[in-house]
Amino acid sequence: MTSGTASAAAKPFFKRVGLPIGVQLYTLGPDAQKDLGGTLAAVSKIGFKTVELAGFLGHTPVELRAAFDAAGLKCTSAHVGGRPMGPGPTLSGDLGKLADDLKTVGVKTVVMPLFYLPDRFELKLLPGEDGGGLLRRLGGQMTADDWKWNAEFLNQKAEILKKSGLRLGYHNHNNEFLPLGQTNGMEILLKETDPSLVTFEMDAGWVTAAGHDPFAMLKEHKGRFTLMHVKDIKASTKPNFELRQDPTEVGGGMINWPKLLPAAYAAGVREFFVEQEPPFAHPRLESTRISYDYLASVAG
How far, in Å, CA of 235 to CA of 253, rounded? 6
Alpha-carbon span 207 to 172, nearest angstrom: 8
Q: Computed over its alpha carbons, how large is the radius of gyration of the chain?
A: 19
pLDDT for res 218: 98
- Which tens digits make up the pLDDT trace of 38-47? 999 999 999 9
- pLDDT digits 0-9 by tens, 224-266: 999 999 999 999 999 999 999 999 999 999 999 999 999 999 9
Partners of residue 201 on adjacent β-strands = 171, 227
Which CATH number characterizes residue 173's domain?
A: 3.20.20.150
For 223, the 3-state DSSP assignment is: coil
* Whole-number Cα distances in Å, 294 to 85, 229, 244, 298: 35, 15, 24, 6
Q: Which residues contact 135 (CB under 8 A, 6 or more apart)?
A: 114, 175, 243
Residue-wise pLDDT for 116-146, tens only, equals 999 999 999 999 999 999 999 999 999 999 9
At residue 82 the predicted structure's pLDDT band, cuts being 50, 70 and 90, is: very high
Query: Would you list the DSSP string of 26-37?
Result: GGGHHHHHH-HH
**Domain tally for the chain?**
1
Instruction: Give SS3 for 169.
Output: strand
- DSSP 8-state code for residue 139: H
> What is the per-residue burial (b if ≥16 Cβ within 10 Å, else e) of 56-65?
bbebebebbb
Question: In the chain, pLDDT over 90 holds for what percent of residues?
Answer: 94
Whole domain around residue 176: which residue ranges? 3-297
For 199, list phi and psi in degrees, rounded to 5.
-105, 180
